[in-house]
Chains A and B, each alone.
Chain A
Amino acid sequence: MAVDKKMKILVVDDYKTMLRIIRNLLKQLGFNNVEEATDGSEALQKMRNTDFGLVISDWNMEPMTGLQLLREVRSDIKLKGTPFIMITAESKTDNVVAAKEAGVNNYIVKPFNAATLKDKLEGVLGAF
């Protein structure tokens, strides 16, 4: 099944520069319908008001971290099926395992490149 490039993607990061970079890279891949949030709680609020086809989230944010957001999403009956990719500098094995156990679909370690982002998106959404 073809990937719907019109889907809404929510990018969550407390660094505005990173939001901008990810948005631009997504745009280059053909995904123009991107919304942003700067922490987990703002993201959760947006997710409860809008249907997103994918969430791409940083880990280290305040007050709600990416991992907390992921757990909230996975425990919410309406949101739990939303694909979730973590993009973070946290590359320790324990952290990756914790994210996987919480239900993350894929994990990108910073700094990342456009090819890695495309590869992980295809892994979660299907080839495009």
Chain B
Amino acid sequence: MTAPVTNSQSLDAAQQGESLSVARQDQEVKGMIESVASAFDGDLAPGDLKLYRELDDLARYIQTAKEEIAALCPDDISGRHIAAATDQLDAIVAHTEEATGFILDAAECIEEAAKALEPEAGQKIAEAVTRIYEACNFQDITGQRISKVVGTLKHIDEKIGVLVSAFGGVSEDAAAVGANKDSGKADDGDAPAHPTQAGKVLLEGPQLPSAATSQDEIDALFESFD
């Protein structure tokens, strides 16, 4: 059972950054409204009554928002889905890097072996190997793009944390609401920890092809300095 909370206690707790449950916060808002209502002596004037109704509507609105956030299971999004997504993206980077290494190994072997061929054939192979080297540029670009996505996911994760914190932590209630909405959901008690990928400090990283500045445009910019 939830212990009664006075308004001053709640405010003190909020000022100290303590996390209150949805139920306790609901009790707190109701307490504030009652406190405001009790401040009116005698008959309520129409304006007072309107204020009271506005406060009551506000309390209901806040309560509904809390329930909706709880139903989204923010802890689940942060602790499970985002963590899993970043793990998958990290794995993509690792696997493509490994595969690119194998491709380069093979290309270097071919390039070396081509030296024993007739000049014309050797030249053709050397040109093909050059195109392989050029194509392997993709690994750096995709790695940087994926790092940007991981950075965005971490940002979303942090924002969810701020939102949950602003509403006093909905974890306990989320479990209850989530269980009602999705009774088949697995327990996330052993969900992976939040990702800690260091990530590169990118300025902008690779731009999308549609928005990227081309080498020709950069060359023209460079020439404009001369």
Residue positions of A touching B, CB distance < 8 A: 13-15, 17-18, 20-21, 24-25, 28, 59-62, 65, 89-93, 95-97, 100, 106-114, 116
Contacts and interface: CB of A to CB of B under 8 A. Distances in A.
B141 A111 contact: yes
5 contacts: A17-B97, A17-B136, A89-B205, A96-B218, A96-B221
A106 B206 contact: no
Given A20-B104, A92-B207, A111-B141, A62 B133 contact: no
B201 A109 contact: no
A-B pairs, 3 with minimum CB distance: A111-B137, A89-B206, A91-B213
Interface of B: 97, 100-101, 104, 107-108, 111, 126, 130, 133-134, 136-141, 143-144, 200-207, 212-215, 218, 221-222, 225
A21 B97 CA distance: 13
- Mostly helix, strand, loop or mixed at chain B's interface? helix
B221 A15 contact: no
Given A21-B133, A114-B134, A60 B143 contact: no
Given A18-B140, A28-B130, A60 B202 contact: yes
Contact of A60 (B201, B212, B215, B225): B201
A61 B218 CA distance: 21
Given A18-B137, A112-B215, 11 more contacts: A17-B97, A17-B104, A20-B104, A21-B104, A91-B207, A100-B221, A100-B222, A109-B215, A110-B141, A111-B134, A112-B137
Given A21-B104, A25-B133, A114-B130, A60 B205 contact: yes
